[in-house]
Structure 1
């Protein structure tokens, strides 16, 4: 039976780390592109940490359903502004997962600090504050690792495909990035449970490395 109260509780824990994860992911793409000469994201108002500018309804729904994977509206990038479009697109693509990894490390530090505290001498109020805080921080580690490695999958248009394209000959990179059924493949992999089997062990490895 669907437990509304428990679902609301879970969403309240996931909301902050998810919003921070997708916001920093997309903003990092935009900032990287801007530093490399492309003003498109800035002109579109996407160089911001306001999550409302980045939220995607379907991506948010996916997070609620999977408790792990979601996505935001892609930041617009125009490679024609880059001095070396193939290389610079690779750097822009890498910026998003790198931001998520940095956030995962930051959240893991919060978890470690709380776990290292002597709770015996803490007041009931402090304990009530620490309990949701550690749950949110723990979710922050998992969500950011999930977004990092999900986006690194080499399936167009995910970031991983753009990173790989940066190492391919120009013609091969163009043909690779012209593949238009990547999103359908991702949905099928998720529905069949294959996506989870691919990235869950990686998430688990890095979670244990960061938190334990």
Structure 2
């Protein structure tokens, strides 16, 4: 049975997976946009895995830190990668692909952190000083990436899920739907404060984690 981590240990375990999860998510958006004709993110130096280029003081540091101290599930966000839809070859279709790229990257990262967890479990009996940190960090990496993936797929503007829905709606309906963006953050905060957010995204997150563990034989 693994011991309860102190706050400092939790920060050490969660910091790297969180930074990578947010950074890769944003880079994936910019990379897909470039592939589809929009070089904006590349021109502004945002196609970089350097977390400093993507850190949002509130979303990357303050909010995750407070949630970690409160013991709730951890999520955060980075500075959005700029995408100029006018440069895209087929704006409505391509914005869907750009939006899907971020959550898809998180799913890939969750699988990679699952492998880290599996290696940790293999090493732990003989080399616990190496195996145990890998177990903790791998588990955190799987969870944070699945949280970001599922959270971002919610159809609440300006989350990625809303961009997908907007691209599928008729143009007039899409314009009306996109107006919700001004209150989207308030909706998220209300869902978080009432505990409804966890109830909504929890089941798919834990179902996906179980699936990843089953695939990797954990």
Q: TM-score, normalised by structure 2?
A: 0.89
How many residues matched? Answer: 203
Return the offset for 1:9. 1.1
Partner of 1:194: 196
Return the offset for 1:98. 0.3
CA distance in 2, matches of 1:114, 1:132: 7
CA distance in 1, matches of 2:129, 2:116: 16
Q: Mean alpha-carbon deviation: is it higher for 49-58 or for 104-113?
A: 104-113
Q: Output aligned runs, 1:159-170, within 5 Å.
A: 159-170=160-171
Unaligned runs of 5+ in 1: none
Partner of 1:48: 48
Contact 1:109–1:211 at 8 Å: present in 2 too? no
Partner of 1:207: 209
Q: Output aligned runs, 1:63-142, within 5 Å.
A: 63-67=64-68, 68-115=74-121, 117=122, 119-120=124-125, 122=126, 126-142=127-143
Return the offset for 1:109. 2.0
Return the offset for 1:35. 0.7
Q: TM-score, normalised by structure 1?
A: 0.91
Residue aligned with 1:166, SS: helix
Residue aligned with 1:181, SS: helix
Contact 1:154–1:160 at 8 Å: present in 2 too? yes
Unaligned runs of 5+ in 2: 69-73
